[in-house]
Amino acid sequence: MTDPVHEGATLGDLFVHAAQRFAERDALVADGRRWTYAGLADRVARMGAVLRRRGLRPGSTVAICSNNCADVLTFYLCAVVEGFRMTPLAPLSSLADRIFILNDAEIEALVIGSDFASSIAAIRAEAPGLSHVFTLGGGGADDLTALTDVEPAAALITKRGGETAMIFYTGGTTGRPKGVMHSMASIFASVMMATSEWEWPVELRTLVTTPVSHAGGAFAWPTFLKGGTFHVLPSFAPESFAEYVRAQNITVSFLVPTMIYRLLDAGISKADVAPLDTIVYGAAPIAPPRLAEAVARYGPIFMQLFGQTEAPNCISYLAKSQHRLDDPEGLASCGNPMAMAQVVLLDDACQPVPPGGVGEICVRGPLVMLGYWKRPEETAAALEGGWLHTGDMGRFDARGRLHIVDRKKDMIISGGFNVFPSEIEAVLAEHPSIASSAVVGTPDPVWGEAVTAVVVLRDGAILDEEALKALVRSRKGAVQAPKRIVAAATLPLTPVGKVDKKRLRATLG
């Protein structure tokens, strides 16, 4: 146990600090309302009093499943202030996965958005360990929003929970979701890394449309540390996003690559989002030609983060100044490792690969997870040799920038050769008919695995399979050229916005 004299602050302490320092500034804008820092702190304290009266204490296990609204952030803040161990449930995940997580993580109290109220009976029947289910809106005796509205004022006092502060579950694309355990220290480290190394405008008005309970919520912390205003919308659409940016003078937003593509394809201009100083993107690979298109249209306002659930957000960082149209190699990278993250490339024997070689990206640092919940063997494998093995294959260029070649499990072995799908996807993105693509291996009696591309065409475009094959063959060689190209209206996505290649393979047979 840490000596108390060396014990670090919690995210709850961070929020209390911000609430005291910036009391009269606007902290949160959501649901058509505004809360000052003092007003938001009061709401967090009153929600905590409600939950304590229902028997929740530091270390109690809680989960939340809701679309974006003000009280998702209120509950998130309440959990870190009260010392609860929190697990977010992805709103787009299946009911079966949510029930599995509730049971696996031994959740005592669930907070669920009113949009999901119809699933409460099924959840109660299949998750007998739940002691409480609260709704956000919808009325009734367990409406946490209504209960908080009428709760008398309470003191905002931070408490400490157990060693594990949060358990985040992976998307489940390779089987049952597994819980990634983080201490308060690892979460706090990632917040401080982002706040110190990422480029933030002086006037910080942050807009998120991705789930606040997941990646979107991470952007609240740098915003609060700097006394900025955190804006929340329930969903993303290009036109309404641009309108909100102008109306609220938004300076920062977090977008996943598919959202950037939608802005481009909808014809949103630089003038349409003129107040934006910074667009942070990540959570999934971006096609370099589409990134170049975005930089050409909106200017060097982009910064890229690379991380994973096991080491959130801060493994490496591509700065705004590195988004140069005259440096295509830089645009294809995910930047340089961050100062507090040690990053190496290891081979299957856990030895460093030669300079310029491809190896598994492995990480050490204060942001790394504690391990996988109730999975000691998988934890041992992931942390073998004192490194977090990310499962991503990468290489360093001459400037020390990290390039992700592909997920280790997504590598295709065709005719005995290793084929990395992301390299083919980057070439396909150069073709004017292609809006997006995904490449997977499908069973083949001759090749073992056949390189198969699924493409989403731009409006009005016609699939020219031979032209696309020839493009890849000319750029990457015959082995990488797809044996089959299929047009699709959309690509299946996981709950966190990544292309779901497991589902894609299943549809291709």
Q: What per-residue confidence (pLDDT) applies to 140?
A: 83
How far, in Å, CA of 304 to CA of 158, rounded?
A: 33
How far, in Å, CA of 276 to CA of 271, rounded?
A: 10
pLDDT higher than threshold 80 for residue 335: yes
Q: What are phi and psi of 41, to 5 degrees?
A: -60, -40
Q: Which of 178, 155, 175, 157 is nearest to 167 (CA)?
A: 178
More confident residue, 244 or 284: 244
The burial of 306, by beta-carbon neighbours within 10 Å (0-12 exposed, 13-18 middle, 19 or more buried), is given as buried
How far, in Å, CA of 328 to CA of 345, rounded?
A: 23
For 420, residues 6+ apart whose C-beta sits below 8 A from its C-beta are 393, 405, 406, 410, 411, 412
CB atoms near residue 300 (< 10 Å): 13
Q: Which of 49, 65, 68 is nearest to 57 (CA)?
A: 49
pLDDT higher than threshold 90 for residue 145: yes
Q: Is 325 helix (H, G, I), strand (E, B) or coil?
A: coil
Q: Give kind and range of the element (H or E) at residue 422.
A: helix 421-428
Question: How are beta strands 85-88 and 61-65 bridged, if at all?
Answer: parallel
Q: Is 57 helix (H, G, I), strand (E, B) or coil?
A: coil
Cα–chain center distance at 422: 19
Question: Which pLDDT tens digit goes with each residue over 387-445?
Answer: 999 998 999 999 999 998 877 677 787 866 678 788 898 899 989 999 999 999 888 87
pLDDT average, residue stretch 17-43: 97
> 268 and 364 in contact (C-beta within 8 Å)?
no
Position 447 confidence tier, pLDDT thresholds 50, 70, 90: confident
How far, in Å, CA of 250 to CA of 275, rounded?
A: 6
Q: What per-residue confidence (pLDDT) applies to 93?
A: 80
Q: Among the residues of 257-371, which ranges form H helices? A: 257-265, 288-298, 328-331
Q: What are phi and psi of 72, to 5 degrees?
A: -65, -45
Domains in the chain, CATH or no CATH each: 7-182 (3.40.50.12780), 236-407 (3.40.50.12780), 411-508 (3.30.300.30)
Contacts 24+ apart (CB under 8 A), 385-389: 385/346, 385/350, 387/344, 387/346, 387/350, 387/362, 387/363, 388/310, 388/311, 388/362, 388/363, 388/364, 389/346, 389/360, 389/362
Question: Which pLDDT tens digit goes with each residue over 151-175?
Answer: 999 999 999 999 999 999 986 444 5
Q: What is the mean pLDDT of the chain?
A: 92
pLDDT higher than threshold 50 for residue 139: yes
Q: What are phi and psi of 195, to 5 degrees?
A: -65, -35
Question: Which pLDDT tens digit goes with each residue over 481-492?
Answer: 999 999 999 998
Phi-psi region of 238 (alpha: psi -120 to 50; beta: other; left: phi over 0): alpha
Q: Give kind and range of the element (H or E) at residue 320.
A: none
More confident residue, 386 or 404: 386
Rg of the chain in Å (alpha carbons)? 23
- Amino acid occupying residue 409: K
pLDDT average, residue stretch 304-312: 93
Q: What per-residue confidence (pLDDT) applies to 466?
A: 93
Residue that has been written with the tokens 């990488």 in this structure: 480
